[in-house]
Amino acid sequence: MKTQIFLATTFISCAAAAADPQSAETPIPSYFRFDQDYMFGTQLWAGATYPLTKALGLSADIYVPENYPGVSVDSTGAPKLVNSWWGEFDIGPALTLGPLTVTPMAGIAFDWAAKRAVAINAPQLYTIINLDKIYFESWVWTVLYSPFHHPIYSNYIHTRNWVLYKATKFLGVGPQMEFMYNLNTQGYGVKGTTAAPLGGHVELAFGAGNSLGLFLGYEMSRRVRAMNEGAAEGRLTFVHNF
């Protein structure tokens, strides 16, 4: 998941760069990402895009979050939510046509402590449009627990979308909207909207190949605000492109 574009000092994406054939001396375009956000706490990502043709690459990544829920049983044998040792692998083609890059992906997640697969992460879709002064990025992913028969979880779909105006080669600013929706009611799950923040996104170039991102949003759903006892949601991001 998330082998997508993040702003570097020249606002050029590693996925777009991966569209060009690489020489034997040139490393595969890759990245490392660190997030801390309102959904899953601290998260680590790493991925790369392997060039196949001028317009087609193969993207793969791993994802390790701090705060994904797991499942266990209590003293009566009933299921209960616990913290999991979540590890995820995703793979998919990256198609680049001019300023547009589209990457559909599929993945599988494991709970290493429970020693089992826990979710299928598909379908996923990542879309980037990188113009001279405008940068757009969209994530859509689906997490399905039901293939592994975990009735305590709800399957869900999540999307985040932002548009940045490149004020300088070092600074991008613009709006961001996110949305998370539980597809069914199972166990502790609540069907319907579980997050819908709307806010602003600032992206700063931070040395060669690095970027810092800040998203701050206001939760638009009154029910979610009441459930979370607050309205502010956000994310800090650091990305290094190799």
Average pLDDT over every residue of 188-194: 73
pLDDT at site 223: 84
Give dist(CA 193, CA 52) in Å, integer: 39
Per-residue model confidence as pLDDT tens digits over 90-119? 999 999 999 999 999 999 999 898 888 989
Domain regions of the chain by residue span: 14-241
Per-residue model confidence as pLDDT tens digits over 33-57? 999 999 889 999 999 999 999 999 9
Task: Enumerate the β-bridge partners of residue 16.
Answer: none
Fold annotation for 14-241: Porin (2.40.160)
For the cut 70, the answer to whether the pLDDT of residue 23 exceeds it is no
CB 171 within 8 A of CB 204: yes
